[in-house]
Each structure stands twice: as C-alpha cells, then as structure tokens.
Amino acid sequence: MHLTKIELQGFKTFAKKTALSFLPPTEDRTPITAIVGPNGSGKSNLADAIRWVLGEQSLKLLRGKNSEDVIFSGSEGKGRAGFAEVSICLNNEDSSMPIEYPHVTITRRLFRDGTSEYLLNETHARLQDIHLLLAQANVGQRSYSVVGQGMIDHILVSTPEERKAFFDDATGVKPFQIKRHEAILKLKRTHENLIDVEMLLREIEPRLRSLKRQVSRLEQREEVQTQLHTLETLYYGDQWWTLIDQLEQAKHQFEQSNDAIKLERKALTELEAAVDKLEQVDQAPDEGLIKLQQAYRAAQQKHSNLRNEQFQTEKNIELARVRAQSNWAPLPLLKIVQEVDWLVEELRQLKDKKELSEILEKIDALLERSGKLSKNLQRPNPEDIKPDPILVQKLKDLKEQERVAEQEQKVLETQIDAYAKQEKTERTEFIETQRALREKQRQIHLFENRRNDMQINLARFEERQQGLIREMNEFLKERAVVIRSNRPTQEQASPQPADVYSEIQRLRYKLEIIGGIDPEIMKEYEETRERYEFLDGQIDDLKKGIKATEQVIEELDEQIDKQSKTIFQKINKEFERYFKMLFGGGSCALVKLTREELLPEPETEVSAERAFSDTGEEARGKEELIEEKLEKHQDPIIGVEIQATPPGKKLKALNLLSGGERALTSIALISAIMAVNPSPFVLLDEVDAALDESNTIRFASILQELSKNSQFIIITHNRATMEQADVLYGVTMGEEGISNLLSIHLEDVTSGATARR
C-alpha cells in the first residue's frame, strides 16, 4: 500500500483546491518526494493536513487553539473559507488495509459551525473505524508515520509512558491495543451495569421477602378459608335443615292440637246450648245453684286469663333465652390475648410465692379467671342462660295465682256436686249436663295447656330460625342463600355439630390472626418476582459477558506480548546498528519498564489530603470497586526507557545529549522502527534541520535504504536530502497569503550529473 495523492481545500494557507500526486513504487524502491520552500510558505501545513486527516484531535500538535483554526481565515485579497477539507488517496491493491477496495480515499471535513465528518470512499464513517483500519495497515497519526517539525526528538524527551504508545505502533500491536481498549471499556461498562443490577437486587430483595411472606400467609389464608367454608357449609346446612324439620314438626303438632281444641270447643258449644235450653224449660231455677254456677264460670274465666298471661310470660322467657344464644359472639382476639397474657403473668409470679396459703389463693383466682374465660369462649345452651329475674318472678306469681284459682274451681265444683246430690227432682238432667260441661271445659283446658307448650316450642324454633338466618348472613354472605336452598345429602350431613362448630371457631380465630391481606399483594409479588428473576438472569448474563470479555483480553494480551517481544528485540538490534552508523560507534539500548518499577512507594503516614479524601470513600466506592476489578487487566509494561551513549562518552541520560546528538538518536530509532516494521508512507518535517553536512549525507543514505519498504515524503531545506528525492514540490506564498505548489520530476531534468544541484 502507498500514498497516491493528497488533496487540500480551505486547510490553513491552502485556500484553493490543491493536489499533490506521488509516483508509484518501482521494483526495487519507492520514489522519495521532497517538499521545499522558504520559511513561512506553508510547507509544514502539509504535514498538519496529513496528521489532521488521519484523525488527530490535539489542537496543540496541529499548531492551533480552536478547531476552526485549521480553516483558511482569509487575507487581504481573499475571503475566509467556509470549511476545510483534506483527502488522502491510498493504493490498496495489496490489501494491506482490510477492506475490499483497491483504492481507498479518506476524507475529513470541518465547517465553521463546528460540524465535522469523516468519509471513507465518499461514505460517512466513524473515526474509531478509520483508526482501526489505519492501525491494521500500520499507519497512525501519532506514530512515526508523521514526524512534525521540531518533533524529531520528542520521543526522547517524552515520558516512558508516552514512549510506550509510540512503540505500540512500532511493534505493530496497535490494532490489538485498540481492540483491547474497546474490550476494557466494554468490561468496565459491564462491571458498572453489574454493580447497578446487584444494587437493584439488594433493594428489591427485602421487599420480595416481605411480599413472599404475605403471599405465603395469603395462600395459608386461602387454605384455611377453603376449609372453613367447607365446614360452615356442612354445619349450617345441617343446622338449618334440622331446624326446618323441627319447625315443620312443631307446626304440624300445633295444628293437630289446635284442631283437637276446635272439636272440643264445638262439643262444648253444644253442651252450653243444652244447658241454656234446660234453663229455659226450668222456670224456677234454684237461686243457690245459679250463684254457684256463676261463681264457677267467673273462676274459670279468671283461671283462663291467668293461663294466657302465664303462657305469654313463659313464651317471653323462652324467646329471651333463644335470642341470647343467637346473639352470642366469641370474645375478640385482643381480649383473649390479654386474658391469656394475664394468666401467664400470674403463673410466672407463683414462682416468687413462698407461703402455701398465698399459692393456694392465687391458684383459686387463676381457676376462677380461666373458668370465666372458658365459658366466654364456649357457645352457651339456651337452658344455661339465666332469664330476666322480673319475668321469672312474674311467672312464679302467676303460677301461684293459678294454683289458687284451681283450688277455687275445685271448691266450687265440690259445692256444685254436693248440691246436685241433694237434688231429687227433675233437675237431674240439668245437673248432669252441667257436670258434662265442666268436664269438657277441663278437657279443653288440658288441650290448651298442651297447645300453649307447642306454641312456645314453635316460637322457640322460629326465633332460632331468625337467629340462624342472621348468623348465616353475617358469616356466609351470599353462600347462605345457596345453603338454605339446597338440602344436603346424608353423606354431606355433619356428624358431630358441636365438634364442627368448635373447629369453625378455631379456623375463624386463625383467619383473624392471619389478618386481612390486600389481593393486589399477589399481583405486586408476581411483578416483583419476575423483575427479580429478570435482574438475576441479567446478572448471570453480565457475568458470562465479563468472563467472555476477560478471555478475549487474555487472548489479546498473549498475542500482544508475543508479537511485541519479537519485534521489540529486532528494533533494539536495528537501533544499535543505525546508532553506530550515524555516530560512528557508541552504544544504545531500549529497556521496557514494568508496572512495579514505576509504582510509587507505599505511604507510611496518612497525609491530610488522603485523610480528607477518605471521607468520600462511600461516594467513590463504585469507581474504586471497578478499578480493583480492572486492575488485573492492566498492561504490565507501562513504559520504555531509551539509553544512548555516543562514542567517547560515558553518559546514558538522554537529557545530557546535545541537540544534534538527540536528533541523530531519534533518527536512528525511527530508522530502526521503519526497518523492522515499515509504515506504508512516512512524512518527515525538517528532521534533518539540526544535522551537519556529514550527518545529513549519512541520513540521506539511510533514506535510500529504507525507501525500499516505505514511501518517504520529506519537508527539508537540506541540499543533500533534496539530492535523494525523485520528485520536488516547491511551496510558495503569494501576496494573497495563499500557498501554491510547483512540482519538478527530476528524471525529466537532462542536465547530467549536476541536475539535482
């Protein structure tokens, strides 16, 4: 690969479109091009143009302060340019540059508004891609391909770290270094992402654990709730339909008793009619008997009223018991916990009691308190519920009054029977009819008592039904309607209602302990779990990516180390050869410096600056952690030291060399590099300015030797250097302040051996 043409337009003093063409290589060498001209004509701007188009970003090296300084700023006779553009055309027929084009044109364009662009064969490209292509072709803007004015000894005065970058180009490992740098950046970004993701995981993990516990409780709640619903369906279904059967039976018995009373009352009515008829036939009834009958009827009415009032009182007492049982509710969980805590605390205090009497007294109190708690936790039976004392006393008084009324009736009945025995007249039929009437009334009284008991029982069942409906509606909600609508089969019936109800209470307490959980918790848990698993998967992917990238870095390090060692030794050998050729003797060497050799000594005391910087350790934690992880991937070779001893001297320090000696040493080093790893083209800007005539001749002979492998473009004032050139470009500057080119092909000069002079 070689340079075929350079085109400039609007770049510094080259305001007009200017082109420099170069001769193609011959069989034995590549023609040398020399660029000459007076000082200030713009020769070095050509070197800046090549460095600029190759991607140089340092304005200092381009001899400017602002990016627009490379654009022609105008003169008295010419207005300023709106943009600067430089293109280099390369012959790539040997495929030195890994691109499928035989001719490659690289263009850089900059406008005054700051817009910049790179073109590769008229197609937009990234600077990074251009750097990589040039590095693979062994061309770089900061390597030995372009040596600017005054920079010939820059490699000598630069630091060992700066020299390393130069030797990376020289040993041909720059493409691997670029790839390695990209891999290191990728590794750093991956570590940053890994730390961020791990931080997110640490933030999510406590919330996920909390949600998991709540979901576990929710699942437990669902299990308990399902079991509770099953038992409630069995229990309340059995209770409801058993009560329905009892209610139907009670209604049937009540209706039978009521029908019997109706029949008895019909017979009673007939007897009363017969008595009335007999009384009408008997025109002279006995006044004594009539008074006894009136008293007896009054006693019967009083007795009947007492029975009715007694029936209502008994009914109210029974309904109160049923309501009390229906309205019973277990103690709240908080109250139960308080009672249990009190019992535990009292039992603990028993340990401190020494007197037996105190212990027994405390035990009695505990038994009484625990007994009350047990009763409050158990559903009471209606028989165990104490009725209202006022109603009880009223019922007792009514029963006493009824007993007195019954005795009065019996006395009156006895008197009527005794009076009837004394009667021997025709009033016998009347008396017998009255006796039958009294017997029928007594029988009706017995039937009414039985009916009243049945009516109380029926009222009890009806009240229980209402209480059960309220309880089912409270606990079962809409399920209550289903249970009351569908009779369970024998297999579904609850075998032991008491045990089932206690289990229902236990499950209800358990649900109360678990507490209410928002159903949205499950959704949040699923979302959080999916995010956690996603981030966890990302961590695995990032770790795999880190491992793969580290493997790539290790492979690149092996390749760099292998190639660098081999070529570095050859450069060292050629450096010594050219050094002796230029100096006529002496010695020199290149020495690699490892990281351990340049590391500062560890601090024995903590400085104030270090102490204050430690306060930001937490903020710098992420960066320091990444630096620690990347530390093992740092290049062990961080610098190159140059040792040079001219003949007749014992010094080795480069700062002790004179200006000419530094120039010769630099030329020897560059020549050694170009001999071992030649660049396709090399531009040298007045590198021979500090050489005397004899050294210039030696330098010119070295150029002839190296031109076999590299294309040289030399900016010079030296006649001996010009004599080695095949093409001369003269740079002049007119009154308009614009650089112009004049070219001379020396083979066209026919003036003999002195033509080059």
Q: Tell me the average pLDDT across 84-95.
A: 91
How does residue 149 score in pLDDT terms, banded at 50, 70 and 90? low
207 and 138 part of one domain: no
Structural domain ending residue among the three candidates 514, 538, 555: 514
Residue 389 has a pLDDT of: 75
On the question of pLDDT at 327 being above 60, the answer is no
pTM of the full structure = 0.52
Position 207 scores a pLDDT of 85
The answer on 335 and 264 residing in a single domain is yes
Query: Which band of pLDDT confidence, cut at 50, 70 and 90, is reported for residue 614?
Result: very low
Instruction: Tell me what pLDDT residue 630 has.
Output: 73
Does 530 fall in a domain? no
Each residue's pLDDT tens digit, 584-597: 888 888 888 776 55
Instruction: State how far the Cα of 376 lies from the Cα of 388, in Å rounded to an integer.
Output: 19
Question: Which string of DSSP letters, residue by residue, matches 41-87?
Answer: SSHHHHHHHHHHHTT---TTTTT-SSGGGGB----SSSPPPSEEEEE
**Number of domains the chain is built from:** 2
Residue 262 lies in a domain: yes
Residue 666 lies in a domain: no
Q: Quick one: 278 and 384 in the same domain?
A: yes
Which residues constitute the domain of residue 736?
1-145+686-694+715-757
Question: pLDDT of 47-74, one tens digit each?
Answer: 889 889 988 888 887 888 888 888 998 8
CA distances from 94 to 137, 175, 176, 674, 682 (A): 11, 18, 21, 19, 18
Query: What digits encode the pLDDT tens for the residues 266-303?
Result: 877 777 777 667 666 554 456 666 677 677 777 777 77
* Same domain (yes/no): 262, 331: yes
Say what the pLDDT of residue 103 is.
Answer: 92
Tally of CA atoms within 13 A in the half-sphere of 476 that contains its CB: 24
Span of 245-259, 533-547, 571-585 with lowest mean pLDDT = 245-259
- Residue at 318 is within a domain: yes
- Domain check: are 276 and 363 in the same one? yes
Query: What is the pLDDT confidence band of residue 36, given thresholds at 50, 70 and 90?
Result: very high
Domain annotation covers residue 675: no
The predicted pLDDT at position 591 comes to 87
Tell me, yes or no, whether 20 lies in a domain: yes
User: Mean pLDDT of all residues in the chain?
Assistant: 77
Which tens digits make up the pLDDT trace of 708-724? 888 889 988 888 888 88
3-state SS class at 640? strand
Is it the case that residue 667 has pLDDT exceeding 50? Answer: yes
Q: Tell me if 423 is assigned to some domain.
A: yes
CA-based R_g, the chain, Å: 60
Comparing 15-24, 336-345, 737-746, which segment has the lowest mean pLDDT? 336-345
- The predicted structure's pLDDT at residue 561: 83
Same domain, yes or no: 431 and 506? yes
Domain boundary among 466, 485, 514: 514
Residue at a domain's end among 490, 514, 538: 514
Dihedral Cα 119, 122, 125, 129, nearest 10 deg: -80
Residue 671, in any domain of the structure:
no
pLDDT at site 384: 53
CA distance 458 to 252: 10
- In this structure, the answer to whether residues 222 and 107 fall within a common structural domain is no
Q: 362 and 459 share a domain?
A: yes
Q: Which two tokens stand for residue 751?
A: 């003036």
Check whether residue 139 and residue 211 sit in a common domain: no
Within 10 Å of residue 518's Cβ, how many Cβ atoms? 10
Q: What is the mean pLDDT of residues 661-675?
A: 84
Among 163-167, 215-219, 400-404, 737-741, name the most confident range. Answer: 737-741
Q: 290 and 357 share a domain?
A: yes
